[in-house]
Amino acid sequence: MRQVAALAGVGVKTVSRVINNEPNVSAATIAKVIAAARTLDYQPDLHAGNLRRADGRTRTLGLLVSSVDNPFAGAVHRAVEDVALERGVSVFASSLDDDPDREQAAVSAFLRRRVDGLILTTVSESQAYLAPELRRGTPVVFVDREPAGITSDAVVSDNYDGAALATRHLLEREHRRVAYLGDKANIRTARERRQGFLDELGRFGVATRDVPVIEGLHDAETARLATIALFDSPTPPTAIFSSQNLVTIGVIHALRELDRHRDTALVGFDDVPLADMLEPGITVVAQNPQQIGRVAAERVFARLDGDASPAARTIIPTRLIERGSGEIPPRQEG
């Protein structure tokens, strides 16, 4: 900026005024400054400005997701980015791999960079460590998972009802040996889905002790192995509810391998790419990651714009998409 000022033959403050479109600069001066800035390829230093600027905004957001190459996270990320772009805000993204240490490290990295707000998919037991930052006024919105140990905005899918809906779909088709394949039980979302599943079984009077509930599945491979193990039984399930997209993919692989994909019903929680092109198509309870991301980002900006209403939980509805796999009837008992 000093160089631009020197080249244009004006003071630095005048350059600052031109860059920021402040009033009370003569047209001639504006032209001189712009020309000088152009020849020097001047790019203002946003962070230096922030140091002094009144609002102290870095126009930066931090986003924490399971992994940036998970399709669900990608869709959330994209929606957040689109909302942020309208405001000239850039987005930091970080993958967690469900590692609480990484969560803390990533949040700390964001905070040191003075992000204006955080959108987090958390994996740690408690997010109490964020309390001081919240008190400082940084908006924090949780997506997909709800916070523990602190109170803040959250945008989540309707996990309980979605899981119940998927389960009901299977039970109404007379399935009784329905297996549950789920993520780690320390994830609240996973617990809610499990509860939706179990409660729905209860409503249909199915004894839950006969129902395989397999948890701690974290990626497609462990889910595949768990599914194969399930069928190594005299009474394998006639239907499967898989509680997460990677788990669903693992189940699909296993059913193919066992050639059980045409006589075992499957409903997955969260949509899976190309699910409609499989044979049978995969019936899912689809979340709406675009909406989750968009609502979360709008929430952050609303807070930044001064919304001081109490922390709210926004529930994004899920939707059952019938594609074939969920409509397979139970095998005849032999």
Partner DNA sequence: TGCCGCCCTGACAACGATGTCATATCTAGG
Partner DNA sequence: CCTAGATATGACATCGTTGTCAGGGCGGCA
54 near DNA, rule: CB under 7 A: yes
51 near DNA, rule: CB under 7 A: yes
Among 25, 34, 320, 321, interactor with DNA by CB under 7 A: 25
301 near a copy of itself, rule: CB under 8 A: no
Among 31, 35, 68, 128, interactor with a copy of itself by CB under 8 A: 68
30 near a copy of itself, rule: CB under 8 A: no
Task: Report, in Å, the least distance between residue 242 CB and a copy of itself.
Answer: 14
3-state secondary structure the chain: CHHHHHHHCCCHHHHHHHHCCCCCCCHHHHHHHHHHHHHHCCCCCHHHHHHHCCCCCCCEEEEEECCCCCHHHHHHHHHHHHHHHHCCCEEEEEECCCCHHHHHHHHHHHHHCCCCEEEECCCCCCCHHHHHHHHCCCCEEEECCCCCCCCCEEEEECHHHHHHHHHHHHHCCCCCCEEEECCCCCCHHHHHHHHHHHHHHHHCCCCHHHCCEECCCCCHHHHHHHHHHHCCCCCCCCEEEECCHHHHHHHHHHHHHCCCCCCCEEEEECCCCCHHHCCCECEEEECCHHHHHHHHHHHHHHHHCCCCCCCCEEEECCEEECCEHHHCCCCCCC
Segment near DNA (CB under 7 A), from 46-54, 99-107, 124-132, 283-291? 46-54
109 near a copy of itself, rule: CB under 8 A: yes
Among 6, 7, 44, 176, interactor with DNA by CB under 7 A: 44
Task: Return the one option of a copy of itself, DNA, none that residue 308 interacts with (CB less than 5 to 8 A, by type).
Answer: none
Task: Report, in Å, the least distance between residue 37 CB and DNA.
Answer: 10
The contact pattern for a copy of itself, residues 80-99, with x = CB under 8 A and - = no contact, is -x------x-xxxxxx----
Please say which residue, 71 or 236, places its beta carbon nearer to a copy of itself: 71
327 near a copy of itself, rule: CB under 8 A: no
Question: Within a 10 A sphere around the Cβ of 105, how many other Cβ atoms?
Answer: 13
- Going by C-alpha positions, the residue among 145, 146, 230 that lies closest to residue 181 is 230
310 near DNA, rule: CB under 7 A: no
Of residues 129-148, which lie at the interface with a copy of itself (CB under 8 A)?
Answer: 132-133
Spatial CB neighbours of 306, under 8 Å, sequence gap ≥ 6: none
Q: Residue 286: how many CA atoms within 13 Å on its side-chain side?
A: 18
Question: Within a 10 A sphere around the Cβ of 182, how many other Cβ atoms?
Answer: 26
Task: Return the one option of a copy of itself, DNA, none that residue 38 interacts with (CB less than 5 to 8 A, by type).
Answer: none
9 near DNA, rule: CB under 7 A: yes
Please say which residue, 49 or 212, places its beta carbon nearer to DNA: 49
Please say which residue, 59 or 176, places its beta carbon nearer to a copy of itself: 59
Whose tokens are 């948890």? That residue is 215
Task: Report, in Å, the least distance between residue 14 CB and DNA.
Answer: 3
Among 41, 52, 205, 273, interactor with DNA by CB under 7 A: 52
Residues within the interface to a copy of itself (CB under 8 A):
41, 43-48, 50-51, 58, 60, 67-71, 73-75, 77-78, 81, 88, 90-95, 108-114, 132-133, 249, 252-253, 256, 272-275, 277-279
Residues within the interface to DNA (CB under 7 A):
1-2, 9-14, 16-17, 19-20, 23-26, 28-29, 43-45, 48-49, 51-54
